Amino acid sequence: IHHTCQWGTGERWGEHVGPAPTETGMSRLALSDADKSARDWFVSTTEALGCKVTIDAMGNIFAVRPGLRNDKPPTFVGSHLDTQPTGGRYDGILGVTAGIEMLKVLADNWVETEYPVGVVNWTNEEGARFPKSMVSSGVWAGDIPVEDAHSLREVHPGTATMASELKRIGYLGETPASYEATPMAAHFELHIEQGPLLEMANKKIGVVTGVQAYKWFTVNVKGRDTHTGTTDLKSRADALLTASKMILHSHRLATANTALASTGILNLKPGSTNTVPGQVSFSLDIRAPKDSTVATMTELVLRDFPRIAAGEDVDGSNLGCTSGLPLSVEIVEDFNSPATLFHSDCITSVHQSAHHILGPNSHNLIMDMTSGAGHDSVYASKRCPTSMIFVPCREGVSHNPREFCKEEDCALGAQVLLQSVVRFDRM
Amino acid sequence: IHHTCQWGTGERWGEHVGPAPTETGMSRLALSDADKSARDWFVSTTEALGCKVTIDAMGNIFAVRPGLRNDKPPTFVGSHLDTQPTGGRYDGILGVTAGIEMLKVLADNWVETEYPVGVVNWTNEEGARFPKSMVSSGVWAGDIPVEDAHSLREVHPGTATMASELKRIGYLGETPASYEATPMAAHFELHIEQGPLLEMANKKIGVVTGVQAYKWFTVNVKGRDTHTGTTDLKSRADALLTASKMILHSHRLATANTALASTGILNLKPGSTNTVPGQVSFSLDIRAPKDSTVATMTELVLRDFPRIAAGEDVDGSNLGCTSGLPLSVEIVEDFNSPATLFHSDCITSVHQSAHHILGPNSHNLIMDMTSGAGHDSVYASKRCPTSMIFVPCREGVSHNPREFCKEEDCALGAQVLLQSVVRFDRM
Ligand SMILES: NC(=O)NCCC(=O)O
Ligand SMILES: NC(=O)NCCC(=O)O
CA atoms lying within 13 Å on the CB side of residue B144 = 25
DSSP type of residue B113: -
pLDDT of A210 over the 80 cut: yes
Report chain A residues whose CB lies below 8 A from the CB of B243. 244
| Each residue's pLDDT tens digit, A46-94 | 999 999 999 999 999 999 999 999 999 999 999 999 999 999 999 999 9
How far apart are the CA of A426 and the centre of ligand 2, in A? 75
**For position A15, what pLDDT does the model report?**
75
Contact status, residue B121 vs residue B61, Cβ threshold 8 Å: yes
**For position A16, what pLDDT does the model report?**
67
**Which ligand has the nearest atom to the CA of A376?**
1
Report chain B residues whose CB lies below 8 A from the CB of A276. 262, 264, 399
| Each residue's pLDDT tens digit, A300-355 | 999 999 999 999 999 888 887 777 999 999 999 999 999 999 999 999 999 999 99
**For position A204, what pLDDT does the model report?**
98
Give residues (CB < 6 A) around ligand 2.
A 227, 229, 274; B 91, 125-127, 133, 194, 373-375
How far are the Cα atoms of A44, A121, B80 from residue A55, in angstroms, in the given order?
13, 10, 58
Residue A373: CB within 6 Å of ligand 1?
Answer: yes
Report chain B residues whose CB lies below 8 A from the CB of A131. 273
The CA-based angle A395-A400-A404, given to 5 degrees, is 50
The mean pLDDT value of chain A amounts to 96
pTM of the model: 0.96
Q: How confident is the model at residue A288 (pLDDT cuts 50, 70, 90)?
A: very high
The CA-based angle A124-A125-A128, given to 5 degrees, is 65
The CA-based angle A114-A117-A121, given to 5 degrees, is 175
Quote the minimal CA–CA distance from B96 to chain A in Å: 20
How far apart are the CA of A222 and the centre of ligand 1, in A? 30
What DSSP assignment string belongs to B276-306? E-SEEEEEEEEEESSHHHHHHHHHHHHHHHH
CB contact under 8 A, A86 and B270: yes
- Ranges under pLDDT 70 in chain B: 16-18
Nearest Cα neighbor of B119 from B421, B353, B395 is B421
How far are the Cα atoms of B9, B74, B347, B371, B392 from residue B341, in angstroms, in the given order?
35, 22, 10, 10, 21
The beta-carbon neighbor of A317 closest among B241, B319, B372 is B319
Mean pLDDT to the nearest integer, A136-155: 97
Mean pLDDT to the nearest integer, A282-293: 98
Cis peptide before A157 (omega within 30 of 0): yes
What DSSP assignment string belongs to A1-27? -TTGGGTTEEEE----SS--TT-EEE-
Report chain A residues whose CB lies below 8 A from the CB of B371. 229-230
**For position B320, what pLDDT does the model report?**
79
Nearest Cα neighbor of B190 from B10, B425, B426, B405 is B405
3-state secondary structure of A371: strand
Q: Hey, of A217, A227, A246, which one would you mutate to test binding to chain B, going by the most B CBs within 10 A of its CB?
A: A227
Nearest residue in B to A243, CA atom: B244
pLDDT of A21 over the 90 cut: no
**For position B96, what pLDDT does the model report?**
98
CB contact under 8 A, B86 and A374: no
**For position B321, what pLDDT does the model report?**
80
CB contact under 8 A, A230 and B263: no
How far apart are the CA of B236 and the centre of ligand 1, in A? 17
**For position B16, what pLDDT does the model report?**
67
Report chain A residues whose CB lies below 8 A from the CB of B254. 233
Q: Hey, of A230, A286, A398, which one would you mutate to test binding to chain B, going by the most B CBs within 10 A of its CB?
A: A230
Probe ligand 2: pick from B124, B126, B285, max atoms within 8 Å of CB? B126
**For position A158, what pLDDT does the model report?**
79
Tell the residue nearest (CA) to atom 8 of ligand 2. A274
Residue A223: CB within 6 Å of ligand 1?
Answer: no
Residue A126: CB within 6 Å of ligand 1?
Answer: yes
> Which segments within A34-115 are labelled E, that is strand?
52-55, 61-65, 75-79
Contact status, residue A205 vs residue A354, Cβ threshold 8 Å: yes
The beta-carbon neighbor of A373 closest among B193, B230, B401 is B230
Q: Hey, of B212, B215, B274, B313, which one would you mutate to test binding to chain A, going by the most A CBs within 10 A of its CB?
A: B274
> Which segments within B96-251 are labelled E, that is strand?
117-121, 186-192, 205-211, 213-222, 226-227
Quote the minimal CA–CA distance from B215 to chain A in Å: 11
The beta-carbon neighbor of B255 closest among A127, A233, A248 is A233
pLDDT of A19 over the 80 cut: no
Report chain A residues whose CB lies below 8 A from the CB of B231. 195, 260, 372, 396
The beta-carbon neighbor of A195 closest among B231, B269, B273 is B231
Nearest Cα neighbor of A88 from A34, A20, A27 is A27
pLDDT of A423 over the 70 cut: yes
What DSSP assignment string belongs to A51-66? -EEEEBTT--EEEEE-
3-state secondary structure of B336: strand
How far apart are the CA of A51 and the centre of ligand 2, in A? 66
The beta-carbon neighbor of B321 closest among A248, A264, A274 is A248
CB contact under 8 A, B86 and A275: yes
Quote the minimal CA–CA distance from A215 to chain B in Å: 11
